[in-house]
Amino acid sequence: MNQIDLLGRHAIVTGAAQGIGRAIATRLLESGAQAWLWDINEAEVTATAKELGDNAHPLRVDVADTDNIDNAVKTVLCEAGQIDILVNNAGISGVNTPLWEYPVDEWRRVIEIDLNGVFYGCKAVVPHMIRQGYGRIVNLASVAGKEGNPNASAYSTAKAGVIAMTKSLGKELADHDIAVNCVTPAAARTAIFDQMSQEHIDYMLSKIPRERFVRVEEIAAMVAWLVSEENSFTTAATFDLSGGRATY
């Protein structure tokens, strides 16, 4: 494993109790960072933080609740004094059904968590990064946001929005030492699969030339470099982890 230097950095990772978020938090901790683990499941994120060690700090946070996010940011700043890294990872898949049959309430729920939740997190954290003159933000999108998966219109739409938001924010912050990038993984076998039909899982696998799902550790490795000081030039960019699926 390549060693990324994050010593002295304070990171927030959303959706950190399990899966991709947990893997990212683990890699940042191994690189020397203090990691603030945000997740809506308080019991699970507390247990995860205990397993990851003293430098992992759990907070129960609903990324769709702006007041909750603002209070969580205040807590981190009060205890850490700075926020150097923000990884917006929390998300849900939504139901698998054609667009014309998609329940309106479910559509709104997916957009609120997967797209608006990223906006809320960035909106709350960026002013502090500007004041301190440094920051690294990585948003977790998906190859579905580039290609559009059938029977996953809400998820695909939300992730496309995350890509566009990343590009806009990266340009807005280009004259600061604040890099904003996103990664677009193919599917990883995590608990989010429990929300999907087997037909949809099989479809996603069939589209990956490497003929396997991405490992969460592979996503964490890319994120670790993107949030490091070494990434001093690249911003407003999209990084594929699609196993050869994405062609642009």
Separation of alpha carbons 70 and 212, rounded Å: 39
Active site residues: 155
Tens digits of per-residue pLDDT, 37-83?
Answer: 999 999 999 999 999 999 999 999 999 999 999 999 999 999 999 99
Domains, the chain:
10-239 (3.40.50.720)
At residue 8, the 3 state secondary structure works out as: coil
- The whole-number pLDDT of residue 195 equals 65
| DSSP result, 188-243 | B-SGGGGGS-HHHHHHHHHT-TTSSPBPHHHHHHHHHHHTSTT--S--SEEEEEST
Q: Between vectors from CA 64 to CA 223 and to CA 29, what angle results, nearest 5°?
A: 30
Confirm if 209 and 245 have CB atoms less than 8 A apart: yes
Full 3-state SS string of 122-189: HHHHHHHHHHHCCEEEEEECCCHHHHCCCCCHHHHHHHHHHHHHHHHHHHHCCCCCEEEEEEEECCEC
Is the backbone of residue 178 left (phi > 0), alpha (psi -120 to 50) or beta?
Answer: beta
Residues 60, 90: Cα–Cα separation, whole Å = 12
pLDDT tens for 140-199 read: 999 999 999 999 999 999 999 999 999 999 999 999 999 999 999 987 777 666 666 788
Report the pLDDT value the prediction gives residue 202, as an integer from 0 to 100: 80
Cα(187)–Cα(144) distance, integer angstroms: 9
pLDDT in tens, 195-229: 667 887 787 778 778 778 889 999 999 999 999 99
Given a contact cutoff of 8 angstroms between Cβ atoms, the answer to whether 180 and 157 are in contact is no
* pLDDT score, position 41: 97
CA distance 194 to 28: 27
- Hey, CA dihedral for 96, 98, 91, 225, is it positive or negative? positive
Residue with tokens 């609120």: 112
> Residue written as tokens 């990872």?
89
Do 145 and 184 meet the contact criterion of CB atoms below 8 Å apart? yes
What is residue 217's predicted lDDT score, i.e. its pLDDT? 94
